[in-house]
Amino acid sequence: VDLPRSASGFHYAVTHLQLSLHTDNRPRLEVYKVYELIGPGPSPRCSFEQCTQGLHQVHCWYYPYQSDDVDEVFERGFAPHKRYRFGLYFAKSDHVKGTIMKLLLCDVA
C-alpha cells in the first residue's frame, strides 16, 4: 500500500531516516513514497507477498555501510535473526537525478 503523506507510517519512516542521517544531510532528504508492506489481514505472509510483488525500490530506511558493496549489504544487513531482513545499497541511474537507495528485503520463513 502506498501511504499518503499524512499517514503516521509515512512520518515514522521519514523521522527514522532523518535520525539515521548526519545533521548536515537531513535538510537534503527527499522522501517520495513509503510503502506499507504488512497490512491488516489473516495472513501476514500472504499480505507480505502480495504487497511486495514487483517492488524493487523503497525510500524509507537508511543504515550506514562502510561501502556500497552489495555483498557487504547481504552479510551485514541479513545477519540479524529476524523474520524480515533487509539491506541497502546505493546506485546511479540515467533516469533519476541523484543517487538511488535500493532496499533488498526478504521474508524468512
Query: Which pLDDT value is given to residue 56?
Result: 45
CB 82 within 8 A of CB 38: no
Query: Which pLDDT value is given to residue 73?
Result: 54
> Kindly report the CA angle at 108 between 107 and 109, in degrees rounded to 5?
115
Query: Which pLDDT value is given to residue 58?
Result: 39
Query: Which pLDDT value is given to residue 90?
Result: 62
pTM of the model: 0.41
Per-residue pLDDT of the chain (109 residues; tens, 9 = 90+): 678 889 887 887 788 777 767 788 788 777 877 776 655 555 555 555 565 565 544 333 444 444 555 555 556 555 555 544 555 556 666 766 766 666 655 554 4
Query: Which pLDDT value is given to residue 19?
Result: 74
Q: Which positions ≥6 away from 2 have C-beta within 8 Å?
A: 33, 34, 35
